[in-house]
Amino acid sequence: MRYFIEFAYNGKNYFGFQVQPNAISVQETLDKALSLLTRQTIEIVGAGRTDSGVHAKQMFAHFDANELSNIPKLIQGLNSFLPQDIVIYKIQIVHDEAHARFDAISRTYQYHIHTFKDAFINEGSWYVHQKLDIDRMNQAAEILLEYTDFECFSKVHTDVKTFNCKITEAFWTTYENQLVFTISADRFLRNMVRAIVGTLINVGIHKFSIDDFRKVIESKNRGKAGFSVPAHGLYLVAVQYPYIK
């Protein structure tokens, strides 16, 4: 039977989501816990691949297993067994062809920034000491919705077949000394959100004009875009499927 598992994690102690040699990952940690508690060999397939240090407030994965008789007890056991930085919310049966990665119709990320030194939020938010022009940054962010090819924000030497993404929202919100950038799309390229945020920061400090931002997108050249902001401020916050509420 095929199951979807919904979970969250703090990425500080992991070298990304995906299993990799000689490095601890979220996927490997979950595989081991599920295999041990179900007494079956479980290998999960995630909705995406967050990079080292990136967090997820909502992540999904699917796995195949013999029928699980007591899912609430399994969730309780997993949350007791797993490290404090991974939490399981739900496990549910889905149809046999359901796929956590390919069936996702939308993903939403948020990037957190604070503009005044803070002793308590540094592990999950990036401190920017320069004065930022939020109105200009939002004007530039709106331009993202006009384009579909985002090769300029993609990590170089990646193996993707297309750089096309349909962005449905991209905006900044502020609360006291904290800023949050929210962006949703059908898919994201490797390092894309962090590169977009870095480029928008250049707009916010008046290093790039609004027109410069447009030219960066049209250039399809990663070297023209801004720097990649640190991973610890980035969160995957939502993944949507047509068959899951």
Active site residues: 51
C-alpha 198 chain-centroid distance: 16
The pair of three-digit structure tokens given for residue 13, joined into one six-digit string: 């102690």
| Cβ count within 10 A of residue 53 | 18
In which element (H, E) is residue 89 found?
strand 86-94
Query: Which positions ≥6 away from 144 have C-beta within 8 Å?
Result: 150, 167, 170, 183, 196, 217
Q: b/e map of 127-154 (b: 16 or more CB within 10 Å)?
A: ebeeebeeebbbebbebbeeeeebbbbb
Q: What value does the CA radius of gyration of the chain take, rounded to a whole number of Å?
A: 19
